[in-house]
Amino acid sequence: MFDLSDLETLVSQRATSGDPASYTAQLAARGLPKAAQKLGEEAIETVIAALGEDRAALTGEAADLLYHLMVVLHLRGVPLADILAELERRTRRTGLEEKAARTPAA
Ligand SMILES: N=c1c2ncn([C@@H]3O[C@H](COP(=O)(O)OP(=O)(O)OP(=O)(O)O)[C@@H](O)[C@H]3O)c2ncn1[C@@H]1O[C@H](COP(=O)(O)O)[C@@H](O)[C@H]1O
């Protein structure tokens, strides 16, 4: 089954392909600010879809969001493995414990 690791590999290959038919290559060539802007747009579109009734629309927007996140991570040189390692580290405590650890004591 296709997973985020496969998407990471695909994005990396297409971003450096130089293929004029590649959206990923075009977006990478426009640079990090443009890719980050697209990521923000897709995040907002995902929020809007999440608040609507259309499950297919949310699925599509979430896919756009994950794709654009992969492009930004590629451009910043942050591997998916680092994100997964951070998520694994967080499994050692609850979300509320994590939140408390981030919030300075008043
Ligand atoms: N998963 C995706 C994917 N998700 C979204 N997108 C593109 O992201 C864009 C987002 O749509 P928007 O309307 O917001 O943006 P736009 O107006 O088309 O583009 P901008 O001018 O704003 O940048 C669309 O053009 C989509 O085609 C993707 N493009 C590529 N992939 C994957 O990457 C692979 C390689 O694609 P290429 O790099 O194009 O070969 C594909 O086979 C897919 O697996």
d(CA 35, CA 38): 5
Q: How many CB atoms lie within 10 A of CB 103?
A: 8
Asked whether the whole model's pTM tops 0.95, one would answer no
- At the fourth CATH level, the homologous superfamily of domain 4-78 is MazG-like (1.10.287.1080)
Residue in 8, 11, 19, 23 to alter for ligand 1 test, most ligand atoms within 8 A of Cβ? 23
Residue indicated by tokens 């590999």? 9
Sorted by where each begins, the domain ranges of the chain are 4-78
Ligand 1 atom closest to residue 63's alpha carbon, by position in its atom list: 4
Say if ligand 1 is within 6 A of residue 26 CB.
Answer: no
Q: Could you read off the pLDDT of 39-53 as tens digits, one per residue?
A: 999 999 999 999 999
Question: From CA 13, how far away is CA 16, in angstroms rounded?
Answer: 6
Using one digit for the tens of pLDDT, what is the confidence trace for 26-42?
Answer: 999 999 999 999 999 99
